Structure 1
Amino acid sequence: MKRWFGILLCWCCAVQAEHVPTFAQPPAPVYPRAMRLVGLEGAVRIGYQVDSRDGSVSHVTVKHSDHALFSASAEAAIAKVRFEPWTVAAGEPLKTDVVQSLLFRMDEQSMAMTLDAQAALPQLQCKLFSYYLATYRQIRSHQPLWQMDSVATSIGLLARTSPASPTLLQFKQAQQAFEAALPSIERRCAGQPDLMFIDAWPQQLRDLALKQL
């Protein structure tokens, strides 16, 4: 299931030349899937150079980011950006330094979809979770387990205190708590495949999750 989640593009500054480059091919960042499932929003401040001769981009550098997944998405998008070439005035450099902010935001419909996914967690059985987990480890062994769909959704549920997007601190605390519990959850699900996934959680986490639903 794919849909567009809002990504806002804001100029911070353009220096070394009076000319502000014009997009020929604007950035199209992809909202990281795990961040969507968690419901986390964020921002990336990214710098790069634009060559006036062909509008190409180089020296892409993340100056600030709320999360590494947002950084990776922003860097990949900016690397594909192209600008309209322009003629520089005498004495001006051929390349212009640009700093730009990319804001990852979810609209109301997108957030509702995330909340619906979280609300469906009590219907997930352990045997299905165990299958998803084995498949994830087989085909996505290079990615951390917290980015697995059902785990990211669980973390998002634990991070919730309202229908709004959780804060970065709430996300980190929920991630730490669920990752610590994940080995015991995995063992319990393996031993009791007909148990509901959420019932395999430690009591404290289960109570917190059910309180949010």
Structure 2
Amino acid sequence: MFLSTSAFAEFAPEAVSMLKPKYPGNLTNVEGHARISLNIHKDGSVSDVKVLSATQPEFGQAAMAAASHWRFKPWTVSADRPAVLDANNDMIFSPEPLTTVPVELTFRNTTYQSCSALSEEVSQFRRDHPTRPLIAMKSFAITRVAVMFPALSGKSDYNEGLSRADALENALPDIVRKCQANPKKTYADYLPGNLKHYL
């Protein structure tokens, strides 16, 4: 981040803490910037943080929220060090890479993932696909294939495989609730016992 002070002041205060702005949670894959103005006081505090321009209103809000917590090294007022400095700052926003479940998951590392990872995947899935059933989520879809696999490969009755898949789907709301309450457990801990031996 670049901080420019008033053209009338050659003195630039030393930053002690310049909190970076958080990328707005309701935006995805959008890059942009925000320009703010602020006053820096001789005691190192800041005031009058304002948005001068922003490519998205959310970027302006995030920039203001971060800058209001900035702190600078206090200084002694002198002829070339005024009590208050006017400053401007430009902040660049880039979407952060999402932490998602790896694409190539085996049945085992899907079912033995932590409940905290599963809960994160559920939250992301519900944000991205609010109307889709939980069984369509990647980890649950992989588990469904696992319990159906003996039937799909001809090793067991197809109707039995469908019954197992239905049992899994019916258990999902309970699995999600239990995992959210116990993030250190694993997804497998809450799978119905009669399904575990297919995984």
Please classify the TM superposition score into its range, dividing by the shorter chain length.
Answer: 0.3 to 0.5
Tell me: higher relative CO, structure 1 or 2? Use CA pairs within 8 A at least 6 residues apart.
1
Calculate the TM-score normalised by the size of structure 1. 0.45
Q: Which structure shows the higher helix fraction?
A: 1
Calculate the TM-score normalised by the size of structure 2. 0.48
> Which entry has the higher C-alpha Rg, 1 or 2?
2
